A and B are shown apart, each in its own frame.
Chain A
Amino acid sequence: MEIVEALSQGIWIALQPHNLGLAVIGVVVGLFVGALPGLGSVNGVAILLPFTFVINSATADPASPMIFLAAIYYGAMYGGAISSITLGIPGASTAVATTFDGRPMALKGEADRALVTAAVASFIGGTVATLFFTGFAPFLSSVALDFGNPEIFALMLLAFATFIGLGGDDIPKTLFSICFGLLLATVGFDQISGEPRLVFMNEREQLAVLETFGVANADESVPFFNSVGWFSRGIQFLVLAIGVYGIGEMIWTINASRYKITMTETEISFARIMRGIIGMKDAWKGTTIGSLLGFFVGILPAAGATPGSLMSYGVTKMISRDPKSYGQGNPDGVAAPEAANNSASTGAMLPMMTLGIPGSPTTAVLLAGMVIWGLEPGPRLFEDRPEFVWPLIGSFYISNIIAVLVNLAFIPLFLWVLRMPFTILAPVIFVLSIIGTYAAYDNMYDVWLMVLFGIGAYLLRILDYPLAPAVLAVVLGATAEEKLRQALLLSDGNFEVFYNPFFDRDGKGQEWWIAPVTTWIALILIALPIILWGVRKLRGAPRPTTE
């Protein structure tokens, strides 16, 4: 067994004191970077990249800098769940889906269980992905190559299909939510033609409007209005997510509780943590789906951990026997996205290392690091630089173990946040939402937009519109549109490229099965609930109540 030998050697090198120390520091740094709203793994890795040059010259080990950065990446994936659960604000875009059920669990007084579930699911997801990575890296990178434009669009369609069921029984409202998200995703510059879309006015026209309202010299006196053509920057995903979950949910909670919100006093003890770990058996479904689906989505360049975690949540809910318990604090709903984002972040390393294409913003920074340390990511990396690759893979195993232990150890500290009186916690959440948005994009325009989304989300929430599908649509909308249009350019506008395996793409009469199979599954998943809903309406049967 060549692989086992190489791997055990790799693990041995990763266990050397300097590498072990770097992994511990990296995980702790990552945990806190991930837990702070607005800062995600990409910020942590980018800020600490310079530090790796010091590491590189201090240790002669080529893998050390990468071990450090990969540990930050992992730590952040664990950390993102913490503010999602305790504060209800997603710590990073990868942890948005964790708020869906993590926050309700915390409100029910099960914050400790939610945090333990998140940590253990993350560990399992990360480890499963690392095992796949170890065993099948070359094979998996060839799978990634089989996914062209039609295939990736079909996959996006599948993701949307899983979310039809996400909004509960009210399918028209879910569809509305998805369409609203897609609309937001089109704002800004068209990726293909470069034409601005839905920007309403260019900067000059906006200024003219302001001047008619009596704001003289608007560009100098009102700094906010001086930002580049308001909507031409597009709608950033985190702006919507923080608005919806930070501001919108918070107003909803204040209103629903009539200012008398009482956090259940969450005790923490070794016994409770152990009980949480044993309780994982109730979340095995989410963990399994998250680990597998997250990894698969992660290895496809252009996707990454955020869509992976959202899709896993959708699929877990869809196949659940009790889909109504999702969004009310179901441990499976925490386990699925957390297993998935860790699994996907390991998965995203694969195209970065074997194809030289980063699957996520964080891996783009890691790629840059590798270039400057003299490593050339690409198809030959595994053969040319085993002294780098195997210790790194070894460190994936080790970092995961460190991360889960560190995370469990810090849980009492995170729970302390929850013991703060709500009258203090609520303003803190508002402030963190604003700082987080500003930190992420460095622009007040996005902050105002975030507040606007928060208020809008609150109103939609009162009207019982599900918002998760809109968030998903914003994440996937841009990629889905780009792939749809590239695929249609390929087929001269013929939609057969998506559903007909015999459609001749390249003039050689080849058959293409991946896209059609995926598309048909997606179409069936979309059609089924709509038909069932229609049948129920026609029969006039009473709709099952959501409460």
Chain B
Amino acid sequence: MTLIKTLSMGVAALSMAFTATAASAFEPSKPIDFVIMAGKGGGADKMARLMQSIVEKEGLASKPLVPTNKSGGSGAEALSYMNGVNDPDHTIMVTLNSFFTTPLRQPGLKVDIMEFAPVGRMAEDTFLLWVHKDEGIADFDAFLAEAKKRGNKWVMGGTGKNSEDNIITDFLNNNYDLEIKYIPYKGGGAVAKDLAGKQIQSSVNNPSEALGFFESGDVIPLVAFTDDRLPMFPEVPTLKELGGDFSYFMQRSVVGAPGMSAEAAAYYTQLFRGVYKSADWQKYKSDKSLMGEFMSQLDLADYWDTQRTRHTTILKASGAIK
């Protein structure tokens, strides 16, 4: 990267802080590249496509958002794409927690997440532990007993390697003396399908991913990795109630490509605040047990910093990084 590029990026970051609340003078001049950091059919994908639909329906943007899935390597493909994009002002991305973990695991990508423009956090997604009803497991204790009995024949499916799902699986293995085998998939949709088909024994899907098979009675939730019980699953205890000191959330944020101008970042923040406030988004949020308020600009950058520190600790503990 040339010196000029670095300098201009610094200036952009500085000016962003000042103009964040000012009225945006930026208007997109061509369709907006809307990158999804995960595969088709997963929670991130469904949500991104819903956001796109809301933007169209409410006429929030003068140019369309064009979603593309870049699911390779737990977000590595998407991050590296964003890092070198030619037109950062027209490139935004829906992120998950792999936004934190993948750059930590792969320093070779040369991705610094603080260079991305903090457009807006749309929600925090929640995690539950799911098993197929035919396993005959009624609660978390029965799960622990059965998983222990079957050793490494008990398979957990999840999205990506060293991702959110993998982190939770590692936590269960390390704290409950289990040997659950983790198999990475491209997206949560494929995981949900393989759990319903009894190809795997458990998952830690988000509610939005498992809901269909929960309603049809194929899969049941055993425990929630949240601080409080979810309104949608009042019967399901949290891990904290059961004595485990662990909760885990996933950010659902929209970010701008590194090098995005402050005006453009302000424009997209305004755009996604509009999406967040729409009736469709609010309904989706409560239907799918999403939590968390809208967060943007400096607040979001702070949040990223905290999360990066936390994930460094988690990944070090599990041995994924040194």
Contact = CB atoms under 8 A, between A and B. Distances in A.
Interface of A: 46-47, 49-50, 53, 144-149, 188-196, 202-204, 217, 219-220, 223, 226-229, 232-234, 301-302, 351, 355-358, 361, 364-365, 367-369, 371-372, 376-380, 442, 482, 486, 489-490, 492, 504-508
Contacts of B199: 145, 148-149
A73 to B, nearest CB: 16
B75, B185, B199 — most chain A CB neighbours (10 Å): B199
Contact-residue size bin, chain B (C-beta under 8 Å from the other chain): 35 or more
A358 B69 CA distance: 13
Given A46-B67, A372-B57, A378-B212, 20 more contacts: A49-B53, A53-B53, A53-B56, A145-B196, A149-B199, A189-B76, A189-B77, A191-B72, A193-B73, A194-B106, A220-B2, A226-B86, A365-B49, A368-B46, A368-B53, A380-B215, A489-B181, A506-B153, A506-B198, A506-B201
A369 B186 CA distance: 22
B134 to A, nearest CB: 10
Nearest to A364: B40
Given A234-B72, A507-B154, A194 B161 contact: yes
A372 B50 contact: yes
A49 B52 CA distance: 10
A355 B161 contact: no
B190 interface: yes
A522 B83 CA distance: 43
B53 A369 contact: yes
A502 to B, nearest CB: 14
A408 to B, nearest CB: 34
A154 to B, nearest CB: 13
Contacts of A149: 183, 194, 199
Contact of B216 (A46, A47, A378, A490): A378
Residue in B40, B102, B183, B184 with the greatest tally of chain A CB atoms within 10 Å: B40
A379 B153 contact: no
Nearest to A482: B186
Interface string B138-168: 0000000000011111110000110000000
Nearest to B189: A357
A490 B181 contact: yes
A191 B73 contact: yes
B263 to A, nearest CB: 23
Contacts of B14: none
A494 to B, nearest CB: 12
B317 interface: no
A49 B54 CA distance: 11
A383 B201 CA distance: 27
8 contacts: A145-B198, A189-B76, A204-B1, A223-B86, A228-B81, A233-B77, A233-B81, A358-B40
A232 B190 CA distance: 25
Given A217-B2, A229-B84, A490-B183, A190 B72 contact: yes
B150 A507 contact: yes
B153 A377 contact: no
Nearest to A384: B215
Contact of A361 (B40, B57, B181): B40
The 8 closest A-B pairs by CB, nearest first: A378-B212, A194-B73, A507-B153, A368-B49, A148-B199, A145-B197, A379-B216, A189-B72
A202 B106 CA distance: 13
B11 interface: no
Nearest to B182: A489
A219 B2 contact: yes
Contacts of A507: 149-151, 153-154
A218 B102 CA distance: 29
Contacts of A302: 190
A357 B190 contact: yes
A434 to B, nearest CB: 19
Interface in B42-72: 45-46, 49-50, 52-54, 56-57, 64, 66-67, 69, 71-72
- Most B CB contacts (10 A, CB to CB) among A189, A355, A504 go to A189
A233 to B, nearest CB: 7
Interface of B is mostly: helix
A368 B149 CA distance: 41
Contact of B190 (A195, A301, A378): A301
A492 B155 CA distance: 11
Contact of B66 (A46, A145, A226): A46
A361 B40 CA distance: 8
Given A355-B212, A357-B193, A380-B215, A228 B46 contact: no
Nearest to A54: B57
A379 B50 contact: no
B72 A50 contact: no
A379 B186 contact: no
Given A192-B161, A379-B215, A368 B77 contact: no
Nearest to B150: A507
Contact of B49 (A202, A355, A364, A492): A364
A475 B150 CA distance: 37
A505 B153 contact: yes
Nearest to B287: A376
B80 interface: yes
Given A50-B64, A379-B218, A228 B80 contact: yes
A301 B80 contact: no
* Most chain B beta-carbon contacts within 10 A, residue among A147, A196, A376: A196
Contacts of A361: 40
B45 to A, nearest CB: 7
Contacts of B215: 378-380
B269 interface: no
Contacts of B211: 376, 378
A302 B211 CA distance: 21
Interface in B17-52: 33, 40-41, 45-46, 49-50, 52
B298 interface: no
B74 interface: yes
A189 B109 CA distance: 11
A372 B280 contact: yes
A260 B66 CA distance: 44
B50 A147 contact: no
A232 B201 CA distance: 34
B80 A232 contact: yes
Nearest to B54: A372
Given A145-B196, A372-B50, A380 B183 contact: no
B213 interface: yes
B148 to A, nearest CB: 11
Contacts of B81: 228, 233
A356 to B, nearest CB: 5
B194 A148 contact: yes
Contact of B76 (A194, A219, A506): A194
Interface string B166-200: 00000000000000010111100110111011111
B155 A506 contact: yes
Contact of B45 (A50, A188, A219, A364): A364
A299 to B, nearest CB: 12
Contacts of B185: 486
B216 A191 contact: no
